[in-house]
Structure 1
Amino acid sequence: MRIGVVILPEHPWREAAPLWRAAEELGLAHAWTYDHLVWGGLPDAPWHSTVATLAAAAAVTERVRLGTWVSSPNFRHPLLLAKDAVTIDDVSGGRFLLGLGAGGDRDSEILGARHTRAERTRRLQEFVPLLDRLLTQEHVDHAGEFFTTVDARGLPGCVQQPRVPFVVAANGPRAMRLAARYGEGWVTTGAAAGPAGLGDDPSGEVVEGWWAGLAQSAARMDEHEDELGRGTAGRPRLDRYLSLDSAGAPTLTGLGLAEERLGRAEELGFTDVVVHWPRPQPPYAGNLAVLEELAARVRT
């Protein structure tokens, strides 16, 4: 089981840099940051650029993988995101993970656009295949429902070949099929959870229902991978990432809670879990000592 952490882009760099270095020093497998213009969980907080943050994080780390949690087509054009991905992959020496998802509606609304849930789904269905082409082909022409490129150039290409890994966020069937087709990883919050999970104090019945739904989602992903021949003919199975804080109270609230969740995630076949760097107050209030203990156990 690999452990990763989300570090919210809320701090000035003089305060953020030590957190990214600490993630590496703890031996965590990956470190992520949200890709939003503003996040609904902290709507009045300072909020820094995702791409600039990851480039800076790459400069102060050497081993830990770095990623977006997650990038969406609601305010990013795929060609610009492809150029950003190539550059971060270069700066980090091939450590970048490109998290992708349909996203919510706040970012697009800030830019004066409103997208229905169905439109966000269709945007992602167009966005991911086009990103794949932009990162692996030269002279890409595309005229779709939402995006256009004319003779888009792919040079210089990614350090990681044939391109940076896609980690696709998916809870519904269409997005899960997209993840199985184009992703190297699948991330889920659980089908019954919203972007911020179940809340800090859900009932035991709600939590158990969430785990049961997660088991069903994992089984469906097995089916999608089997249909596409994943695991055979040089196409490995997806890495499976679970957003562990979606299960209720923040995972780093206590060691017992964290151990229970890690064990259950592993039983369901997840290869990776991701928690949030503990904050002194909600959201994601937690204890750094819990993360340190979990990281130490994984290292040994």
Structure 2
Amino acid sequence: MILPEYRWWAAEPKWRAAEEYGFDHAWTYDHLGWRTLVDGPWFDAVPTLTAAACVTSTLRLGTFVASPYVREPVRFSRSVLALDDISDGRFCLGVGAGTVTPDAYDFAVFGGTRLTPRQAADRLAEFVELTDALLVRPTTDYAGEYYTAVAARGYPGCVQRPRVPFLVAANGRRTMGVAARHGQGWVTVGPRADDLDEWWRGVAELAERFDGVLAEQGRDRASVDRYLSLDAAPRFSLDSAEFFAEQVGRAAELGFTDVVTHWPRSEGYYAGRETVLEQVAADVLPTLGGRAGKKAGE
């Protein structure tokens, strides 16, 4: 995860390095601002990912995650088509309901009416359903409670067929249902917790809950990748290479196929040392199975 807070001359080497280190995918936040960083530098996700696509060739790229607070499906689907085309089929669309707390900047900046968690989940369902249609159909008409589209065009369609992969962030059963119906991946940040073991117990409970939702939807468990944001835990995953390897192992034991860590920042959130990231690339990635391990071990 590379936060969109750097001018491009400083961000470009990080995106290049993520690929060179052998990571499978790299992401950025799709917020208008985030927590206490709202008063600092912050850039839009779409042009950032477009630029990243132009300086990489194998790295998968995506939003982690886009939300209805920031995006509207008809306009956003055109950006998704463009990102998929420019990256030659390397774009993944991470989506989520968005934070409904009044202090969340994406919510507060528009001065809108606060949605209940149920309403936010329903709006996410419409957002994903309409975006799905816009990316796979030549023409889409849609009339929902939150969104409307009249003869919206989808030509030429995605490079990836039938469309770009959707990764749906969800902790509740209703949003998990959206992930089970439409997602090629499920994303979780786990529960809020002050203790690391408590956080992992919550992650295990969420993984079990998602298994139940998949079963209810008649979806094959193996057909949905599982992404865990390690740094939602009370301890930064890149505290050391050894700690990172331990956390990856715990995620794998719970059935997660992918984990996401943050590029170390100099201070504040995700403060750490880039030397640890380099050590992870050199010593940990080659020990892992899958694309990252193979590439890093070449």
TM-score (norm 2): 0.90
- Matching of residues 179-190 of structure 1 within 5 Å: 179-190=179-190
The answer for the alignment partner of 2:93 in structure 1 is: 98
Give the match's secondary structure for 1:69.
Answer: strand
- The equivalent of 2:234 in structure 1 is 248
More off after superposition, 247-256 vs 104-113: 104-113
Report Cα offsets for 1:226-254 as digits up to 9, x if no partner: 3333338xxx5211000001111211111
Write the deviation string for residues 56-105 of structure 1: whole angstroms up to 9, x where unpaired.
00000001000001000112111111111110000000000000001124
What residue is the counterpart of 1:76 in the other structure? 71
Please tell me whether residue 295 in structure 1 is matched to residue 261 in structure 2: no
**For 1:215 and 1:249, how far apart are their aligned partners in 2?**
17
Distance in 2 (CA, whole Å) between partners of 1:277 and 1:114 is: 34
Indicate the RMSD between aligned Cα atoms, in angstroms. 1.5
Contact (CA 8 Å) 2:173, 2:213: kept in 1 or not? no
Q: Which runs of 5+ in 2 are unaligned?
A: 286-292
Matches within 5 A, 1:94-243: 94-104=89-99, 105-118=104-117, 119-190=119-190, 192-193=191-192, 198=193, 202=194, 206-231=195-220, 236-243=222-229
Partner secondary structure for residue 168 of structure 1:
strand
Whole-angstrom distance in 1 between the partners of 2:170 and 2:279: 30
Structure 1 pair 51–41 and aligned structure 2 pair: CA distance change class (3 A): same
Please report how far the alpha carbon of residue 207 of structure 1 lies from its aligned counterpart in structure 2 after TM superposition.
2.0
Q: Which residue of 1 aligns with 2:289?
A: none
How far apart in 1 are the matches of 2:25 and 2:207? 22
Alpha-carbon shift at residue 167 of structure 1 (Å): 0.4
Partner Cα distance (1:41, 1:164) in 2: 32
> Which runs of 5 or more residues in structure 1 are unaligned?
1-5
Superposed displacement of residue 258, structure 1: 1.2
**Secondary structure of 1:70's aligned partner:** strand
The amino acid across from 1:70 in the alignment is V
Q: Following the alignment from structure 2 to structure 1, what is the Cα–Cα distance between the partners of residues 149 and 111?
A: 22
Once residues 11 and 213 of structure 1 are traced to their aligned partners in structure 2, the CA distance between those partners, rounded to angstroms, is 33
Q: Per-residue deviation at 1:117?
A: 3.2
> Whole-Å Cα distance in 2 between the matches of residues 229 and 291 of structure 1?
39
Give the one of 22, 28, 33 matched to 1:33: 28
List per-residue Cα deviations over 1:238-284 (Å, max 9, x = no partner): 11000001111211111232122111101000000000000111110
Displacement after TM superposition at 1:111 (Å)? 2.2
The two structures have a TM-score, normalised by structure 1, of 0.90
**8 Å contact kept, 1:244–1:261:** yes
Distance 2:187 2:275 in 1: 26
Aligned-pair identity (%): 51
Give the whole-Å Cα distance in 2 for the aligned partners of 1:253 and 1:92.
32
Which amino acid in 2 is paired with 1:120? A
Q: CA deviation at 1:49?
A: 1.2
Q: Distance in 1 between matches of 2:28 and 2:113?
A: 24
Assess if the C-alpha contact under 8 Å between 1:225 and 1:237 holds in 2.
no
How far apart are residue 30 of structure 1 and its match? 0.4
Give the conservation status (yes or no) of the 8 Å contact 1:251–1:286: no
The verdict on how the C-alpha distance between 1:41 and 1:166 changes in structure 2, with shifts beyond 3 A counting, is: farther
| Per-residue CA distance 1:13-42 (angstroms, 9 max, x = gap) | 111111100101101000000001111141
Partner of 2:70, secondary structure, is: coil
Q: Which residue of 2 aligns with 1:285?
A: 271
- Structure (1 or 2) with the greater helix fraction: 2
Distance in 2 between residues matched to 1:96 and 1:264, nearest whole Å: 27
Aligned equivalents of 2:252 and 2:233: distance in 1? 14
Question: Residue 46 of structure 1 corresponds to which residue in structure 2?
Answer: 41
Which consecutive segments of 4 or more residues in structure 1 shift more than 3 A? none
Q: Distance in 1 between matches of 2:36 and 2:123?
A: 24
